[in-house]
């Protein structure tokens, strides 16, 4: 270390044009001793749970029409809050997790990159559990609250409440809002059925080299029957049919890939040849372009 310091000093002297004999060096050493710092955080668990219950209950009341009027469990929760009945909190099996275990929110980390400065509420209906609100405070406290034994029809399966603690603004967003803002525009990828291996190789080579493309109609990709008649002017019209087998293939953290298995014999048309090619599956693919809405 001494050699390194002397080397640095010599460079400074040379650049400054100061004669070395005119420089005196005074050595001053300071020792810093690291001492562990202990911080104790005392939390009244019952008051903490009561506060989280109030947050979840009010979010559901504000979001779902008639929830607080017609739901039996909503009335129970309302009484607990009104009477500040701390003893009754544990009698009704309302909470999922102990408040500090992050694992209750792990399934949602694929959908949203949680910001440490925000509060998050996620309202959803879970089969065999019912209406549930998951809460994340500063990425430090995590808990789920069973708000009803009933399963409510929530648009797009879940609603997010996001509280920006800096701007003091609260907003509700739905899953499609997150997809629209955080993911790229959807791209279609078709899975073809080509009997001849060599024809398949020639096709993929021509497609890669840009020598062929998909036929489009008014900016959409139509699907055809075997006889060449149009079955669907836009392939998305087929993909909205509820009887199709649908699978999620992406990891959601980096990309969304929704796989649709077709239930009838359909074709796409190739340009410029206008040949028909049988399609058996269609993937709708989107890449994440933004971490947070």
For 121, the token pair is: 């509420």
User: Is the pLDDT reported for residue 273 higher than 70?
Assistant: yes
Q: Which candidate, 258, 264, 261, 255, places its Cα nearest to that of 289? A: 255
- End-to-end alpha carbon distance in the chain: 49
- Sequence-separated (6 or more) residues with CB below 8 Å from residue 155: 174
Helices (H) and strands (E) in the chain, counts: 8, 13
User: Is the pLDDT reported for residue 285 higher than 60?
Assistant: yes
Per-domain boundaries in the chain: 45-181, 183-287
* Three-point CA angle 110, 50, 152, nearest 5°: 50
What does the mean pLDDT of the chain come to?
82
Burial of 112 (0-12, 13-18, 19+ CB in 10 A): buried
C-alpha 134/C-alpha 120 separation (Å) is 8
- Least confident stretch, 69-78, 83-92, 103-112, 162-171: 103-112
Query: Which pLDDT value is given to residue 263?
Result: 95
More confident residue, 118 or 265: 265
User: Is the pLDDT reported for residue 129 higher than 80?
Assistant: yes
Q: What is the dihedral of CA 46, 47, 48, 53, to 10 degrees?
A: 90
Indicate the pLDDT class of residue 222, thresholds 50, 70 and 90. Answer: very high
Query: Which pLDDT value is given to residue 259?
Result: 94
- Least confident stretch, 147-151, 153-157, 240-244: 153-157
Indicate the pLDDT class of residue 27, thresholds 50, 70 and 90. Answer: low
User: Is the pLDDT reported for residue 228 higher than 70?
Assistant: yes
Query: Which pLDDT value is given to residue 275?
Result: 86
For 15-54, the DSSP string reads: HHT--GGG----------------------HHHHHHHHHH
Q: Which candidate, 115, 121, 155, 161, places its Cα nearest to that of 138? A: 115
Query: Which pLDDT value is given to residue 38?
Result: 63
Contact assessment for residue 89 and residue 53, using Cβ atoms and an 8 Å cutoff = yes
- Sequence-separated (6 or more) residues with CB below 8 Å from residue 31: none
Contact assessment for residue 228 and residue 270, using Cβ atoms and an 8 Å cutoff = no
Q: What is the CA radius of gyration of the chain?
A: 31
Q: Which candidate, 72, 79, 22, 33, places its Cα nearest to that of 53? A: 79
Indicate the pLDDT class of residue 89, thresholds 50, 70 and 90. Answer: confident
More confident residue, 85 or 253: 85
More confident residue, 33 or 247: 247
Q: Which candidate, 125, 100, 116, 124, places its Cα nearest to that of 163? A: 116
Indicate the pLDDT class of residue 28, thresholds 50, 70 and 90. Answer: low
Phi, psi of 115 (to 5 degrees): -90, 135
Q: Which candidate, 261, 259, 267, places its Cα nearest to that of 214? A: 267
User: Is the pLDDT reported for residue 180 higher than 70?
Assistant: yes
The answer, as to whether pTM is greater than 0.75, is: no
User: Is the pLDDT reported for residue 20 higher than 70?
Assistant: no
C-alpha 223/C-alpha 225 separation (Å) is 7
Query: Which pLDDT value is given to residue 232?
Result: 96
User: Is the pLDDT reported for residue 157 higher than 90?
Assistant: no
Query: Which pLDDT value is given to residue 21?
Result: 62
Indicate the pLDDT class of residue 211, thresholds 50, 70 and 90. Answer: confident
Indicate the pLDDT class of residue 102, thresholds 50, 70 and 90. Answer: confident
Query: Which pLDDT value is given to residue 8?
Result: 60
Taking residues 149-169, report their average pLDDT. Answer: 85
Q: Which candidate, 105, 108, 158, 111, places its Cα nearest to that of 131? A: 158
Query: Which pLDDT value is given to residue 25?
Result: 61
- Least confident stretch, 5-19, 103-117, 128-142, 191-205: 5-19
């Amino acid at each position: 270390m001494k050699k390194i310091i002397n080397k640095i000093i010599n460079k400074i002297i040379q650049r400054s044009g100061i004669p070395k004999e005119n420089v005196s060096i005074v050595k001053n050493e300071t020792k810093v001793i690291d001492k562990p710092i202990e911080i104790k955080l005392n939390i009244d668990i019952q008051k903490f749970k009561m506060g989280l219950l109030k947050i979840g209950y009010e979010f559901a009341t504000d979001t779902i029409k008639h929830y607080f009027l017609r739901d039996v469990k909503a009335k129970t929760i309302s009484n607990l809050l009104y009477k500040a009945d701390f003893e009754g909190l544990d009698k009704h099996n309302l909470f999922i997790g102990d408040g500090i275990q992050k694992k209750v929110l792990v399934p949602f980390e694929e959908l949203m990159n949680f910001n440490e400065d925000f509060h998050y509420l996620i309202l959803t209906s879970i089969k065999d559990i019912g209406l549930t609100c998951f809460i994340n405070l500063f990425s430090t406290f995590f808990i789920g609250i069973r708000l009803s034994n009933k399963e409510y029809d929530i648009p797009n399966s879940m609603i997010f409440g996001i509280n920006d603690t800096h701007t003091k603004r609260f907003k509700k967003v739905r899953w499609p809002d997150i997809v629209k803002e955080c993911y790229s525009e959807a791209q279609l990828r078709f899975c073809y059925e080509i009997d001849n291996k060599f024809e398949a190789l020639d096709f993929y080579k021509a497609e890669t080299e840009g020598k062929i493309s998909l036929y489009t109609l008014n900016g959409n990709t139509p699907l055809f029957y075997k006889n060449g008649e149009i079955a669907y002017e836009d392939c998305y019209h087929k993909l909205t049919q509820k009887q199709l087998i649908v699978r999620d293939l992406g990891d959601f953290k980096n990309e969304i890939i929704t796989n649709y298995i077709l239930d009838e014999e359909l074709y796409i048309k190739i340009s410029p040849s206008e040949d028909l090619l049988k399609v058996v599956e269609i993937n709708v693919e989107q890449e994440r372009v933004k971490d947070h809405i």
